[in-house]
Every structure is written in structure tokens, then in C-alpha cells.
Amino acid sequence: MNIVECIDVSKTYRQGQIEVHALEDISFTIEKGEFVAVAGPSGSGKTTLLNLVGGLDAADSGRIVVDGKSFDQMSSSALARLRLHRVGFVFQAYNLIPVLSAVENVEFVMLLQKIPARERRQRARSVLDEVGLAGKYDRRPAQLSGGQQQRVAVARAIVSNPSIVLADEPTANLDSKTGNGLLEIMQQMNAEKKVTFIFSTHDKMVMDYARRLILLHDGRLQEDRVK
């Protein structure tokens, strides 16, 4: 079953009088449960591609279908609901809320989903345990290391059981040991829960973990191979 379809997707940005072709005629499908790295040098279009697949930005042309829903046939409110309930995001800069504790950060998405307080707290603690942060529930982001903050971000992304997790350069700010540990956690969740993971990266370690590589260069699909 395809969980992501991109059909002739293009995106152009304007910088003053200059047009930057971030993506040009990109087409591929991703099946449920895949563990995929979208790789390429800086400026190749990989973050743009993740933003389009996550509905954070809109393509100029082409068609994107996620979890059976075609973005071009959805209202902005329907797209927001899809992001909230079906897509988890892990950002390079963590994007944790500084005034909230680890467990409150993980609960935040479930709060928006109107899940009852007791269930939110139970699920948040359980997933923090899964990512190795048992006993650190009440620590705020500033009291956690970079690796621990990224684990909180991963916990937040998966706690509501999304169909797909999009991770933008998840190891960029981590040392190799911490990054390796984080990837092992995500790989385990992929195997056990069948969550689809799509990474954007130029980190060879992430590419080594991935079971499929989609390589971009100057906004074009250069290679797509299963390892």
C-alpha cells in the first residue's frame, strides 16, 4: 500500500528577481512501513520535498497524495487535520517549547487532538520510556542535552501513532554516538509499529541505516534505489 505518492512535483521560490527551482518534476511512491532517506547536498531540494510531503508548503505543480488523501483536493482545514493526526515531524532544531517539560512537550500534539489528560500523560510517559528518557519527564529543554532534546522530539512525533514520520536532518546537531542511538530507536519503532520514516539528510550514517535512498541533485531526482 502506497502511503506517499509524488507525481511530477515542482516547486520554485523567488529571491528578489531570481527564480530558484527547488524541485523539478519529482515522481516516486513510498509504501507503508518503509525506512527512507532523501539525500543530497545542501540546496538539492530535500528539505523542500519533506515540507511538501508534510503539507507545510504547497507544490507549484504536480500532485501529492499522503495516506490516500490528495492535497490538491483538500481544504486548508482538512490538510491541517491530516498533519495533526497522520503525520509526525522531527525538526533539525528540535522545535521544543522551552517553558514546557519533556512530558508536556510530548503531550502537546495529543492536547490539540483533544485526548483526555490522564491518557495523554500515560502515553507521553510510556513513549519517553521507549526513547530512553525514563525519569526525565519533568525536565525542560534547557535541562536536557541535544541528544535528549532530539529524543523528546522523536517521542512527540510518534506518540499519537501517525502513519508517517518526517525527520529533517535529525542527526545534524548530534555527535555520532548519540545520532547512532537515535537512529536505532527509530529503526526499532519502524520495525515494531510499522511507522513509515522519511529522512532528509546528508549524513552518511543515516543513509547507511535507511533501507532505501532517494538521491536529489539540483532539485531533480538523480537516483532511487532499495539497498
Per-residue pLDDT of the chain (227 residues; tens, 9 = 90+): 899 999 999 999 988 888 888 999 999 999 999 999 999 988 899 999 999 999 999 999 999 999 999 999 899 999 999 999 999 998 877 789 999 999 999 999 999 999 999 999 999 999 999 888 999 999 999 999 988 998 899 899 988 889 899 999 888 877 888 888 889 888 988 998 888 999 999 889 999 999 999 999 999 999 999 98
Residue 26 CA, distance from chain mean position: 19
- Reading the block at residue 216, the C-alpha cell is 536529489
Can you give the CATH number for the domain in which 35 is found? 3.40.50.300
* Pair 200, 213: CB distance under 8 Å: no
Domain count, the chain: 1
Q: For residue 74, give its domain range.
A: 2-226
196-201 vs 212-217, strand pairing mode: unpaired
This prediction has a pTM of: 0.91
